[in-house]
Amino acid sequence: MRNVGRPSPGREDDLMTKWQDNYQIYTLLRKKWTERGFRLRLDGMIQNTSAGARRQCEFARMYGHDTPSEEDLILLDEVRVATEAAWEQGYPVDDVYCVALRLLRLPHICPARGQPTRVWRGQRKSKWPFQAKLFRPDNITKTEEHLKRLGSLSIELIRKNPALQEDLSFAIAQHYSFEAELATWLLDFTANPWVALFFASHQAKDGDTGIILEIACEEWSRLTADQFGYIRLVEVPGVPRIERQHAVFLEGSHSDIIEQYIGPYTTFKQYSGLVFTDSTIGIDEETLLSSEDPYLQIVGEWKSCYTDFKGTLPKPKGSEKLASLDYYTAGKVWAAQRGRSLSLEQNELVRQLAQFHESLQRRKNDIPVGARSLRTFRLAVEQVLQRSNHEAGRTLDDLLRLYLNRAIPLRDESTTTRAVRAIKDEWEKIFPTRSSAH
- pLDDT at residue 388 greater than cutoff 80: no
* pLDDT, tens only, 180-239: 999 999 999 999 999 999 999 999 999 999 999 999 887 776 665 555 778 889 999 999
**Mean pLDDT value across residues 134-163:** 94
**Which range (274-278, 357-361, 386-390) has the least confidence?**
386-390
- Extents of the domains making up the chain: 12-103, 118-305, 324-430
Question: Residues 393-418: what's their mean pLDDT?
Answer: 77
Task: Check residue 432 and give its pLDDT.
Answer: 87
What string of H, E and C letters represents the secondary structure of the chain? CCCCCCCCCCCHHHCCCHHHHHHHHHHHHHHHHHHHCCCCCHHHHHHCCHHHHHHHHHHHHHCCCCCCCHHHHHHHHHHHHHHHHHHCCCCCECCHHHHHHHHCCCCCCCCCCCCCCEEEEEECCCCCCCCCHHHCHHHHHHHHHHHHHHHHHHHHHHHHCCCCCHHHHHHHHHHCHHHHCCCCCCEEEECCHHHHHHHHHCCCCCCCEEEEEEEECHHHHHHCCCCCCCEEEECCCCCHHHHHCCEEEEEECCCCCHHHHCCCEEEEECCCCCCCCEHHHCECHHHHCCCCCHHHHHHHHHHHHCCCCCCCCCCCCCCCCCCHHHHHHHHHHHHHHCCCCCCHHHHHHHHHHHHHHHHHHHHCCCCCHHHHCHHHHHHHHHHHHHCCHHHHHHHHHHHHHHHHHHHCCCCCHHHHHHHHHHHHHHHHHHCCCCCCCC
Using one digit for the tens of pLDDT, what is the confidence trace for 150-168? Answer: 999 999 999 999 999 999 9
Residue 411: the pLDDT is 47
pLDDT value at residue 236: 97
